[in-house]
Amino acid sequence: MDFSGLIQDFGPLTITGLAQGAIIALFALGYTLVYGVLRLINFAHSEVFLLGSYACLVVWGFFGLDQNSATPSVIAVIGFLLLGLVAAIVVSGLTALGVELVAYRPLRRRNAPPLAFLITAIGASLFISETVGVITQRNIKAVPPLIRPADVFVIGNMHVTNLQILIIVLALVMMFVLDRFINRSRLGRGIRAVAQNPDSAALMGVNKSRVIALVFLLGGLMAGIAAVMYDLKIGVTRFDAGFLLGIEAFTAAVLGGIGNLRGALLGGLLLGVLQNYAAGLFGTQWLHAASFVLLVLILLVRPTGLLGESLGRARA
């Protein structure tokens, strides 16, 4: 255990952890949204993220950008970023919808038991990630240096870079927008209605299938954004990138209280930061173990996560 190291690096570990946590949080939203409405662990959500992380690379590759390109001008960077985001969002959103249509909807029609959903989700996840694995020959795909990290401000030994700020701010903004959407808009009301009581929502004229599709789409959009941020931060993607980060995102969702949007944000940020602290304290090899230990401990105290589960599920 390296306490002095942790204290010395507390600032930097916090900021890098927050950046990672923000990505995890955006990713976790998809799990939470689907769970909130369908009470289903959408195992295939990790592949929604995965395809997003490839989509932006394909678009950038189309413009001749690769890991060895020089960083373009600011205007071009903004353009590329937007293009990449759009591509990732579209692909992730469509993937999420596709998974819902191919893997889940037929089961719902047949009134299948909950376990069956979990298993088709696993099947879909395997299918997508392994297909990507075969196509890419399980090689990594590297990301062009669109944003060259530069310090924006420095506090002590904590260097806060432009990329970190972009990731954290974007995550918070998206979270805010989504929260607003769910709580204020008409469509959002539909989502909450279905989440609270699917049957009576249907009676009140809410189209359940539409709402479910919408929820998958929203989760996909967020995963798409998370995927672009991930690419920029980590620098490569790989066929199993979704699976690895997906476990963390799912952990974060449960940690915060699955089905609860703010819980996902809290869980993601907390997980990102605490993983870094644990890595500082015990060594990087214990990073993932720490997140699970944390999860178990929190669930022992609060069996439904930190903020409890609710997607508009009002508790009396």
Please state the closest distance from residue 187 (CB atom) to other proteins, in A: 26
Q: In this structure, are residues 234 and 49 in contact, taking their beta carbons and an 8 Å threshold?
A: no
Q: How far is the CB of 154 from other proteins (least distance, A)?
A: 11
In terms of CB distance, is 144 or 224 closer to other proteins? 144
Q: Which is nearer to other proteins, 20 or 188 (CB)?
A: 20
Tokens coding 97: 């919808």
CA of residue 31 relative to chain centroid, distance:
8
> Which 8-state DSSP code applies to residue 101?
I
Q: Are 222 and 85 in contact (CB under 8 A)?
A: no
Angstrom distance (rounded) from CA 142 to CA 123? 27
d(Cα 191, Cα 206) in Å, to the nearest integer? 9
CB of 266 to other proteins, least distance (A): 16
CB of 180 to other proteins, least distance (A): 27
Q: Which is nearer to other proteins, 10 or 181 (CB)?
A: 10
Nearer to other proteins, 157 or 185 (CB): 157
Query: Rounded to an integer, what is the distance from CA 166 to the centroid of its chain?
Result: 16
User: Would you tell me how many other CB atoms lie within 10 Å of the CB of residue 250?
Assistant: 25
CB-nearer residue toward other proteins: 80 or 206: 80
Residue 138: CB minimum distance to other proteins, A: 5
* Calpha distance 95→125 (Å, rounded): 11
Minimum CB–partner distance for residue 115 and other proteins (Å): 5
Q: How many helices (H) and strands (E) does the chain have?
A: 13, 4
Question: CB of residue 4 vs other proteins: minimum separation in angstroms?
Answer: 11
Closer CB to other proteins, residue 55 or residue 230?
230
Q: Could you tell me the smallest distance in angstroms from the CB atom of residue 210 to other proteins?
A: 22
User: In this structure, what are the phi and psi dihedrals at residue 158, rounded to the nearest 5 degrees?
Assistant: -95, 105
3-state SS, residue 126: helix
What is the radius of gyration, based on Cα positions, of the chain?
Answer: 19
Closest to other proteins by CB, 206 or 311 = 311
Question: Residue 251's CB: how many other CB atoms inside 10 A?
Answer: 22
Could you tell me if 12 and 158 are in contact, meaning their C-beta atoms sit under 8 angstroms apart? yes
Judged by beta carbon, residue 79 or residue 113, the one nearer other proteins is: 113
